[in-house]
């Protein structure tokens, strides 16, 4: 039996007193407005008496709940790192949009403070300066990473951010289609396609040729947006100048889905002329988490700020002239604009944005660069080791930073399965993404972050060589 059902503090005696005040004889009478025929009965001690009750087990005490959840956790093979010993987990070489980066202890220690965790959307700024200022700092850092003037306070994930970007472009241009590079993450393209069913947006693909997007054959009519990922799904740096040119020729907006870690080494999308920059913020402060909650980054030129989806925090003053922060340009949002809103986002990913802001400040200018550099070194080293194995071929050529794709003489899914026995998550199997995808041919996507060491990479390549032998 649940010890404290539903965490309800009321004793039976207290409930009785309250009911009496209401002139009611029982808790059931509270629900007299619910038609009899629709009502469930309370879980009967003995018999259901023909009436239906909620067919769920009674609540468990805290230790039993935790034991059950821990049982489930142990039924996964997690990636090595804090809490997962080298010989109990998998050394992670998988990426494909979710990366095994270090999350320092300050991030959970601070983002886990209950004032951040248990607050609502900051509707009362006088008692929400903590969340608001943290978001203001987040917006500033995301804007800087993207090279654009303004960033919102978060979206659900990279996929949803790319949907919002396409919608913004459609609203700005008054056009009904988008030209999307095949180098954009297949899940993001799938998500774009799902939501396009509602907005009626037409999606055309631009193919990858030798690892980067070819913008040779523009669709007609001219699209609202040219959408490119940089580095793209196969890990290759794109030619953003070419993308910008393609957009210019079509009068379209350039939407760049970027890897924010890359900003430690390569030029910002804004510096290439991107109009909208989106990205997945998971690499900064969020563990792999089986895919969520992650963080949709969204930045744009200042001229589009009134079409910015989601929340935006602005700086202002309080009645005593002190600096204060507040949600601003609220008239864009669904609760005010309703059916005329260009986005329906309400709850977003604030706490993940706060964690991201903490991690970015922990990195600082030099740490971000060091992080990107270490990823690039590990990736280069891994790539060289792997390509030295007989039968391993590059899937595409092209400059990479943290990820690259290879062709293998054995089915990649089999390789992943076999290497798991040796303690490695070998990579992401191309074409296995579900939905859109499979445009890349059979291959394995291999990522190496700053967490990978020489000895891990050596062991991994040896294990791979053994499987391929």
Partner 1 sequence: MSGAVDGPQPGGRAASAPLLGRQAEPTVFELSSPGRRAWSFRSSDLPSWQAHELVPPEHLASEPVALPELSERDLVAHHTRLTSRQYSVDLGAYPLGSCTMKYNPKLADATAGLAGLARVHPAAPAALTQGWLELLVGLGTSLAEITGMSAVSLQPPAGAAGELTGLLIMRAHHAHVGGSGAVRTKVLIPDSAHGTNPASVTLGGYRTVTVPSDHRGCVDMGALRRLLDDEVAGIMLTNPNTLGLFEEDIAEIAQAVHEIGGLVYYDGANLNAILGVTRPGDMGFDIVHLNLHKTFAVPHGGGGPGAGPVAVTEALAEYLPGPLPVLSHGRYHWQTPSRSIGRVHGWHGNTLALARAYAYVLATGGDGLRRVAEAAVLNANWLRQRLRGHYEIPYDRPCMHECVVSAAGLRRTHGVRATDVAKRLLEHGFHAPTVSFPLVVDEALMIEPTETESPQTVAALAQALIDIAATASPEDRHAPRGTPVARVDEARAARRLTATFDARGQG
336 lies in the binding site for ligand PLP (CB under 6 A): no
- If the CB atoms of residues 205 and 334 are measured against ligand PLP, the closer one turns out to be 334
- If the CB atoms of residues 78 and 465 are measured against partner 1, the closer one turns out to be 78
User: By CB under 6 A, what part of segment 347-366 binds ligand PLP?
Assistant: 347
124 lies in the binding site for ligand PLP (CB under 6 A): no
Shortest distance, position 133 Cβ to ligand PLP, whole Å: 22
Q: How far is residue 195's CA from residue 189's CA, in Å, rounded to a whole number?
A: 10
Q: 244 and 275 in contact (C-beta within 8 Å)?
A: no
Q: Is 403 exposed, middle or buried (0-12, 13-18, 19+ CB in 10 A)?
A: buried
346 lies in the binding site for ligand PLP (CB under 6 A): yes
CA 451 to chain centre: 20
Smallest Cα–Cα separation from 273: which of 139, 144, 147? 147
109 lies in the binding site for a second copy (CB under 8 A): yes
User: By CB under 8 A, what part of segment 373-402 binds partner 1?
Assistant: 373-374, 376-378, 380-381, 399, 401
Lay out the site mask for ligand PLP across 181-220 (x = CB under 6 A, - = otherwise): ----------------------------------------
Candidate list 12, 38, 50, 114; residue touching a second copy; CB under 8 A: 114
Q: Which does 305 bind (CB under 5 to 8 A by kind): partner 1, a second copy, ligand PLP, none?
A: partner 1
Tokens of 355: 């964690």
Smallest Cα–Cα separation from 262: which of 136, 453, 456, 449? 449
- If the CB atoms of residues 185 and 451 are measured against a second copy, the closer one turns out to be 451
Quote the Cα angle for 143-149-152, to 5°: 55
- If the CB atoms of residues 112 and 292 are measured against a second copy, the closer one turns out to be 112
- If the CB atoms of residues 18 and 346 are measured against ligand PLP, the closer one turns out to be 346
Q: How far is residue 387's CA from residue 389's CA, in Å, rounded to a whole number?
A: 5
Tokens of 285: 């402060």
Candidate list 19, 102, 273, 324; residue touching a second copy; CB under 8 A: 102
Q: How far is residue 369's CA from residue 28's CA, in Å, rounded to a whole number?
A: 63
Q: Which does 437 bind (CB under 5 to 8 A by kind): partner 1, ligand PLP, a second copy, none?
A: none
Q: 278 and 162 in contact (C-beta within 8 Å)?
A: yes
- If the CB atoms of residues 67 and 209 are measured against partner 1, the closer one turns out to be 67
Pairing of strands 276-280, 253-258: parallel
Residues that bind ligand PLP (CB under 6 A): 346-347
């Amino acid at each position: 039996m649940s010890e404290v059902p539903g965490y309800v503090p009321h004793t039976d005696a207290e409930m009785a007193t309250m009911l009496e005040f209401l002139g009611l004889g029982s808790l059931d009478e509270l629900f007299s407005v619910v038609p009899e025929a629709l009502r469930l009965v309370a879980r009967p001690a003995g018999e259901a008496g023909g009436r239906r009750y909620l067919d769920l087990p009674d609540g468990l005490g805290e230790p039993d709940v935790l034991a059950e959840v821990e049982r489930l956790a142990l039924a996964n093979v997690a990636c090595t790192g804090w809490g997962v010993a080298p010989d109990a987990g998998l050394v992670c070489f998988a990426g494909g949009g979710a990366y095994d980066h270090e999350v320092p202890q300050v991030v959970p220690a601070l983002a886990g403070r209950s004032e951040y965790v248990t607050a609502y959307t900051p509707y009362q700024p006088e008692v929400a300066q903590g969340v608001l200022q943290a978001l203001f700092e987040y917006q500033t850092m995301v804007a800087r990473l993207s090279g654009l003037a303004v960033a919102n306070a978060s979206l659900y994930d990279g996929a949803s951010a790319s949907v919002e970007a396409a919608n913004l472009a459609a609203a700005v241009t008054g056009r009904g289609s988008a030209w999307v590079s095949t180098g954009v993450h297949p899940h993001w393209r799938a998500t774009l396609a799902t939501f396009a069913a509602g907005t009626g947006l037409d999606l055309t693909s631009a193919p990858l040729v030798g690892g980067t997007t070819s913008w040779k054959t523009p669709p007609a009519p001219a699209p609202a947006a040219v959408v490119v990922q940089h580095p793209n799904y196969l890990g290759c740096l794109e030619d953003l100048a070419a993308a910008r040119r393609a957009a210019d020729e079509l009068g379209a907006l350039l939407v760049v889905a970027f890897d924010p870690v890359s900003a430690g080494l390569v030029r910002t999308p804004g510096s290439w002329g991107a109009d909208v920059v989106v990205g997945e913020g998971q690499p900064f402060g969020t563990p792999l988490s089986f895919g969520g909650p992650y963080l949709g980054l969204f930045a744009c030129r200042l001229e589009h700020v009134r079409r910015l989806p989601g929340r935006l925090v602005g700086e202002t003053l309080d009645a005593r002239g002190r600096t204060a922060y507040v949600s601003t340009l609220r008239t864009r949002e669904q609760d005010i604009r309703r059916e005329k809103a260009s986005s329906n986002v309400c709850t977003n990913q604030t706490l993940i944005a706060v964690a991201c802001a903490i991690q970015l400040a922990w990195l600082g200018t030099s740490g971000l660069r060091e992080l990107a550099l270490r990823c690039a070194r590990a990736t280069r080293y891994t790539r060289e080791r792997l390509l030295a194995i007989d039968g391993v071929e590059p899937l595409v050529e092209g400059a990479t930073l943290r990820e690259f794709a290879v062709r293998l003489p054995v089915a990649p899914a089999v390789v992943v399965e076999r290497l798991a026995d040796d303690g490695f998550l070998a990579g992401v199997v191309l074409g296995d993404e579900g939905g859109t995808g499979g445009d890349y041919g059979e291959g394995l996507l291999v990522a190496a972050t700053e967490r990978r060491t020489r000895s891990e990479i050596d062991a991994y390549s040896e294990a791979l060589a053994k499987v391929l032998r």
